[in-house]
Structure 1
Amino acid sequence: MPSEPALSLSGVNAFYGDSHILHDICLELPQGEILALLGRNGAGKTTCMNAIAGLLPRRSGRIAVGRQDISALSPEAICRAGVALVPQGRRMFRSLSVEENLTVARRAAPPAGQRPWTIAQIYDLFPRLQERRANLAGQLSGGEQQMLAIGRALMTAPRVLLMDEPTEGLAPQIVAEVGAIVRNLRAAGLSVILVEQHMAFALGLADQVVVINTGRVVERGAASALRADMSRLEEQLGIH
């Protein structure tokens, strides 16, 4: 019998003021898989991530982590339930050191089912951060900042990792490194939603794909099937 999804959204609607942005969003993230959330600029991808993380309250619908309904929880409570966001633009504490950024996010005793991470494990994952551990976050390169943003999210002991444009502004070599890290995290059992403009990167990692346009799901399926028929994605994403 299939296990329950790591994360599910059922009929989620969200607004910015009077503007209806997300329309009846339904999706499921299976345990230990990567779901790529694709769409054109302004399609509602980041809004969907913010709704899951509690940064934008949904107007209706249900969001659940496993069996736990997190729809009405605060962002802090959603984080404690096992959802971590790696935000677009990284948004770290630039005046704190690398190690201080990680320490601030550390969760000492997560509930059952949430793997605790130590700073030593983050340094094993990102040796470059250990080399820069005393540097201020604002002094890091873009790639190093992205590593720190991922490491900081892991320190909260997530079950579900939300990654919003993790390759934005990065050199190709660093993009490849980030991809390898995401694969390793999936292999360790973490479930990931990946918002990404870099379609080849997203399809190379994803198990499942959901495409949204104007805040509505317009395509979904196994990544392998969509890779075999790129015309379906190209039509929805406006790629010619």
Structure 2
Amino acid sequence: MAEYRIQNLRKTFTLNGKPYDVIRGLDLRGDSNEITVILGRSGCGKTTLLKTLCGLEPADTGTMFFPGRKKLSMVFQEPRLMPWLDTEKNINFGLSKSAINPGKTAELIRITGLEGFEKAYPAQLSGGMQHRVALARALACEPELVLLDEPFAALDYFTRSAMQKELRRIHREAKMGGIFVTHNIDEAILLGDHICIMANGVISDEFHQAPEEDERSLLSEPAISLKQEILSGLENAARSG
């Protein structure tokens, strides 16, 4: 287990001239080889947490420890591809020339199921394929953790379901660890090895799932039981808030 730790993290914004605490002394421990899902309602601070972890927003207080090089990458809600670059060049966007490895690029294209679309431009790709390019780009720098900010939220049900399965496959094949935020309970169950409820600026409850041998099913007894526990945890968090 390669553990990362976040301790007493705080982030305050000023709203209408008054301080507004978005993150209030948050503590989190996770395994950088797993997918940790941060689950919570819209506006609870999930995206702010990711931005703070990767340095897009400075934390007011708190400590963060990551094993290894503390190299993080982020996948946003939109693919944010460069429209004038093809798939290969979008994947390598942000890397120095000396860091670009054609063999590594080809491997990322294979892992993310983009073979045959190496020279395609974003406008020629479906929404799901654009998100695959964004994920491959995030993996290109060989990060310790990938931070994923509801990357499938805008996709239709069928594409979203396919991308959830793809993410689990890529997680296993590329040995990718990640922190994935969502407000969708089913998505949390399908993707998360470690599921954390975020409410009132802190992690209010946590759940763990055993690594799956096959695809997870929302109709399995463990998934149904876990969903009931999560719903109870969300209700308790709402009452305490």
Structure-1 separation of matches of 2:95 and 2:236 = 40
Contact 1:95 1:138 in 2 (8 A): no
Partner letter of residue 12 of structure 1? L
- The match for 2:11 is 14
Residues 164 and 237 from structure 1, CA distance in 2 versus in 1: closer, same or farther, beyond 3 angstroms?
farther
Structure-2 separation of matches of 1:29 and 1:117 = 31
Per-residue deviation, 1:230 = 4.1
Contact 1:88 1:165 in 2 (8 A): yes
- The match for 1:213 is 199
Cα deviations by residue, 1:43-97 (Å, 9 ceiling, x for unpaired)? 00000000011000001101111266xxxxxxxxxxxx32111112222222322
Gaps of 5+ in 2: 210-221
Residues 103 and 230 from structure 1, CA distance in 2 versus in 1: closer, same or farther, beyond 3 angstroms?
closer
Contact 1:226 1:232 in 2 (8 A): no
Contact 2:86 2:119 in 1 (8 A): yes
- The match for 1:61 is 62
Contact 2:111 2:170 in 1 (8 A): no
- The match for 1:157 is 142
Percent sequence identity is 23
- The match for 1:72 is none
Q: Rg: which structure is higher? A: 2
Residues 231 and 19 from structure 1, CA distance in 2 versus in 1: closer, same or farther, beyond 3 angstroms?
closer
Residues 92 and 214 from structure 1, CA distance in 2 versus in 1: closer, same or farther, beyond 3 angstroms?
farther
SS in 1 for 2:93: helix
Cα deviations by residue, 1:196-232 (Å, 9 ceiling, x for unpaired)? 2232122122111111123222222224673352432
Instruction: Provide the alpha-carbon RMSD of the alignment.
Output: 2.6
Deviates more, 1:34-43 or 1:215-224: 215-224
The match for 1:179 among 144, 161, 164 is: 164
Per-residue deviation, 1:131 = 2.8
Q: How do residues 1-240 of structure 1 correspond to structure 2 at under 5 angstroms?
A: 3-5=1-3, 7-17=4-14, 18-66=19-67, 81-106=70-95, 118-127=104-113, 129-188=114-173, 189-223=175-209, 226-227=226-227, 229-235=229-235
Q: TM-score, normalised by structure 2?
A: 0.79
Structure-1 separation of matches of 2:236 and 2:133 = 33
- The match for 2:213 is none
Structure-1 separation of matches of 2:5 and 2:123 = 35
Contact 1:125 1:181 in 2 (8 A): no
Structure-2 separation of matches of 1:234 and 1:218 = 9
SS in 2 for 1:166: coil
Partner letter of residue 11 of structure 2? A
